[in-house]
Each structure stands twice: as structure tokens, then as C-alpha cells.
Chain A
């Protein structure tokens, strides 16, 4: 299987889907002649022309809304947000229009559209450019929210998102784009709504998604050397949550750590904890632990930035806490 970077996997998915369906177009800032701010759309303008790879003005609300309109009458837009921080300007169109059209029209309209772009900290960019915002979107009925961690999932889930009949919000990551992994060629579609056990284990379940996945795998490696067998469950989809997969893993290991880049309050992890406590209470051998971004704005200074985010040592500490092996 060829090894691709995350951005190349996305590029492949876009190209394949645009080839497959002429209703698909890509719009966003710098997606055309610049070849993409993060090179996800490299080469696509030359291949598909300016009506399908559209350089948008810096008007996030405007082009997001325009794309929703196009989706209402049968096109399948892919809207690239240079980062999700900027998409806050477009939130009205995503939340008040895309997510509600089917409902307001009593089932007459559908809105097959993908909003995608990098979320989370980019690295030394300070507070306005370093936010994990997926919990915001996971809150809204009418949306689907995905956050793949690996290049293979990135390709497969983008393809699934483009084919979905609903608005799909896709969180990628500035620090994910250059990561490499094996990616199946051609028709590789990863269903939305299915979590994936990325590493099997018996002592503790670490639940995560997106970039935090890599810290969790690193932590699991180290824990293995201490004789602790950690299962890593990659949620991949944050709305709808894969309850079945979460509960199955909890029932297996009885101990859970949830790792989330965003803030703790009202985070996605909080909802995962809620599912566990209400549906698997009797399977818990310890309170669920969460490792999240600290409850502060992100600083520019390198040491402060690092201290704000979850990392492998913090995850290892949390795992030991739920295993009652503190200080061990």
C-alpha cells in the first residue's frame, strides 16, 4: 500500500470524487492558483478548471452561504476553510442555514455539503489561531462532524463526506497534513459514525480523535513497556458518536481516559463520559479521567504553548491514575 501524507490523501480523495461526480466543486481561500494554503488542493485547478476549483474572496460568511445555496439546488460543494478559526465568521450560514434547511422545509430540501479545514493548534500562532472548535459543531443537530487522525481515514472519510446527503464538518489539522501513513488506492470509503480501535488493549481504554491520537499511541507504547496494556479507540466521528464502540471497549477494560485537544467544559469528551456513566456505570472500576487542553487561551511562547496542550506524559499520568498506580 502506498504511503502518503495526510494532505496527499485528502488531495487524492478530492480528485477522485470530482472525477466521479461533476456536481462536486471546491471553493475556498487560496485553493486555486496558490494550490492551497496547506497544499491540499495542489494541481486541482489545472485539472478541473476555475468553475470547479474556485478562489474565493476573504468572505467566509459569504462563500459558505453561497455554497449552501448551491447545495440546496443539487450541487455538492466542498468548502475549504483556511482554518476553523476563520469559519467562526461563517457559523451563521453553517448553523442557521445548512443544519436547519431540511427541518425548516419539512423535508423538501437537503444540503449535501462539506466544510473542511484544519482545526487545533498550528504551532506558535497564539490564541486566535490555535483552537480546537469541534465541540461547537458537535452540538448541533442537522450536522455530522468528523475528525480523522490518519491519512487513510482522512481519504476515506472525505470521500464519505462528499457522498453524504447532509452537511458534514471535517476537522483536519495543520500539524497532521505532513504526517505519513499507508493509504489504500482508489475506492476507499470510511463510513461516518464508526469509531476504530487503533490499538487493542485490556487494562485501560484511551478514547481520542484527530491529532491527539498520536500522543495516545505514543503513551500506549510507553505504557506497554511498563506492562500496561492500553486500548486506543479513535472516535473519528464526533456526531453522531459511536456509542456501541465506546461501550464495548469500556466493558472490556473497565477504565477510561479521554484525551481531547479542546477545552474541558462542554467538550466532546464530557459527552463521552456521560454515555459511559449512564450506560456502563456497572462496568467502571475507576472514575473516568479526562486529559484536555488547559482552560486558558493559547500563548505564543513555546513553553506556555506546550504546557497548555495534552501530551504523552499527561496521558500516561492519567492512565496510571485510573489504574490506581499513581507514583508507581
Chain B
């Protein structure tokens, strides 16, 4: 059977997954060299969960994540050097070194941030999706969170509202089986997170998170569903992190054997095998991509390492927006390039709100039925 994917699509996905892998390996190394400090949560093993969905989305769809947040912006197209510089705490990072590993924001690429409080980004995504409906746009919002966030109140409160108001938001639960050092099955009455969608009358499905193409298909389908105004979708990406929760985690709560077993499922060779089998590319092409990516990542480390720390004058910036102050466009600020894809919103005079969240007739009928008159 012929592949439904073009060579270009497959190689793009491969390149991005390989980029994340190499980037994270180097980030881990730089952490051990003391160049990166604080918490540093690596994405190694979960690459398919970032890359598959991104290729199924439009560039102007919104995306946000938790604190394991290096993978998604790289998949979206963020500058690897500026992401690395942020991890290094340098002024050339996306957030001028103020956010660090847990708070990558690249608004130009519609990546609305990494959030450090478990589950804290879940309501934000619903609000962004709400704004899309409010403005009658067909944009979707994709929100990543970990399996352990599913036990937060924010998860339940938001799912209720998102479903009730049919908000165009795709929630991707990255179920890597452990919330830090605790297996999700040990703390959850229903460890299959996708089943919880049923409680809110919402679509919920499991996906093989170790397979980039399956992630692609699932999100492609979910995005079409959202854009059609049918409401939110919960996808449970069953995945695995090959590393500890953070750099300081010895991961003694799982056996070596388990990790070895999962490594056989590595999404990167899997996509390469598929492509080779389909006869769409040769080994040499993959090797060329790998060399190219290695150079990109090494350049990213060099860029970060050679970048200065933020100036002390930055201390007092970015807490309160001063009158007339513009938003900062990082690539413009750091690389001096013209940023053209910055999000633009209609003014309060241009905007016409046509959405009726709770249609008047519907409300009046309900009242009539109940014998009420308004």
C-alpha cells in the first residue's frame, strides 16, 4: 500500500524529532556542566507527541504546555539557539533569561508558554479557545499536560466548561506513566485518563504516543472536529520518558528492564524504518539530516554559551506593562530579523460578536417549559 504521507512530510517529522532528541541530550550535558541550573525536564522519548500533532495543525493554531516544554516550541519552529539561551539564563533567550527551562514562550510561533504549576495551563487553553469562538475564528488551541495533572481541580473545572461551551480545544495528556516518581496507577482511581472525558460528555481517546504518525492522525481528526464547532477533544498519548522526571531524578521507582523495554519503542527509529520500508528515502538522506541537526544543536549551544547574561536594567522590566509599551518580539530583539507573523487581534470597534453562548430562544423555551416568564 502506498504511503498516505509524502516524503517531505516524513522527513520533516524525522528532522524535528531528531532535533528534539539531540537538543535535549545536549541540554542534559550542559546541565551536568553547570551551564543550566534549576529544574530541567527533558523530553527524550516523547518526541512523537510534540511533532505528530504540530504537523497536523495550522501554524496559527495556539499551543501551550506544562514545564516539560522544550519539545513543542522546537517542533513549532522556534530558534534552537534562543531556546538554549533561555535554558542558560542568557539575555538572548526567548524570555530574556527570566523564565528558564520551565517557561519557554514563543508567541511568534503561537507557542503560549510552559507553565510550572501542575495543571495551571489547562484553564488558560480553554480561555484561548473561548477567544477564538468569541471572534468567530476557526482556530484551535492545543494544550499539553502530564498524566498527574489530570488529578488537579483545574482539569475537571475546565473540562466541564470547555464541553458545555463547545470550545475548540484539543487536550493532549502526555501519559508517561509517572507523576514525578509516583506511578499514575498508584494515585488514580481511573488511570486511563481518556475515560474521564466521558464525565463531561466530551470526546476522549487513547493514542500511541510512541508513534509520530498515529499522533498526527489523531490530532488531524480532532482539529477538524474542533473547527467544526463540535467541542473539545481529550487525547491520551501513551508515551514514555527515557530519562528521569528532571535531571536530579535517579528514577529508582522503575526498573531498568522497563526502561530498556520501552526504548525498543523509540519513536525516532520507528519513523525512519517506516520511511525506508515505504521506499521514500535512503539511509544517506537520514544521515544527512542527522549531521545537519547536530550542527544546528552545536551551534545552539555555542550561541547560548557566548551570549551575555541579561542586563541588570532588565530587573524592572516586564512586571507591569507601562502605558503605550509594545510587546517584545524576541527574534526581532535578539536576531534583528523582521517578525511578520505576530498575532494581531481586532480592535474593540472592529470586532462584532455574533456568537450566542446560550441562545436566547433556547433559554426562553426552557423558561416557558418551566412555567416562568421573563
Contact = CB atoms under 8 A, between A and B. Distances in A.
B122 interface: yes
B112 interface: yes
B59 interface: no
Contacts of B347: 21, 23
A104 B123 contact: no
B134 A51 contact: yes
A106 B348 contact: no
Contact of A61 (B154, B318, B321): B154
A50 B359 contact: yes
A52 B354 CA distance: 10
B353 A52 contact: yes
B321 A102 contact: yes
11 contacts: A22-B353, A49-B353, A51-B357, A61-B123, A73-B62, A97-B115, A103-B99, A104-B113, A105-B95, A105-B105, A108-B327
Nearest to B110: A73
Given A57-B164, A65-B154, A69-B126, A106 B357 contact: no
B257 interface: no
Given A51-B357, A67-B127, A92-B120, A62 B94 contact: no
Interface residues of B, number: 66
Listed from nearest, the 6 A-B pairs whose CB atoms lie closest are: A69-B127, A65-B123, A62-B157, A21-B348, A74-B345, A106-B95
Contacts of B254: none
Given A22-B352, A33-B363, A103-B98, 10 more contacts: A23-B347, A23-B351, A51-B356, A51-B357, A59-B157, A62-B158, A73-B127, A104-B105, A107-B317, A165-B325
A70 B113 contact: no
A69 B125 contact: yes
A62 B107 contact: no
A65 B129 CA distance: 12
B131 interface: yes
A65 B158 contact: yes
A138 interface: no
A115 interface: no
B200 to A, nearest CB: 11
B276 interface: no
A20 to B, nearest CB: 7
Contacts of B345: 23, 73-75
A144 B321 CA distance: 11
Interface string B306-350: 000000000001111101010111100000000000010111111
B352 A69 contact: no
Interface residues on A, range: 35 or more
A176 B42 CA distance: 52
B358 A107 contact: no
A72 B128 contact: yes
Given A52-B353, A62-B158, A110 B321 contact: yes
Nearest to A19: B348
Contacts of B123: 61-66, 68-69, 93
Contacts of A74: 131, 343, 345
A291 B107 CA distance: 48
B201 interface: no
B158 A66 contact: yes
Nearest to A103: B318
A93 B360 CA distance: 31
Given A65-B154, A141-B319, A107 B127 contact: no
Interface string B136-172: 0000000000000000011001101100100000000
A72 B124 contact: yes
B98 A110 contact: no
Given A22-B349, A65-B123, A102-B321, A50 B98 contact: no
A74 to B, nearest CB: 3
Given A25-B134, A65-B122, A72-B112, A108 B128 contact: no
Contacts of B329: 108
Interface string A57-97: 10101111111111111111100000000000000110011
Nearest to B345: A74
A108 B320 CA distance: 12
A4 interface: no
Contacts of B317: 107
A68 B157 CA distance: 15
B21 interface: no
B336 to A, nearest CB: 17
A106 B330 contact: yes
A107 B327 contact: yes
Centre residue among A49, A63, A65, A66 by max chain B CB count within 10 A? A66
Contacts of B154: 61-62, 65, 92
A22 B351 contact: yes
A142 interface: yes
The listed residue with most A CB atoms (<10 A of its CB), out of B160, B161, B164, B317, is B161
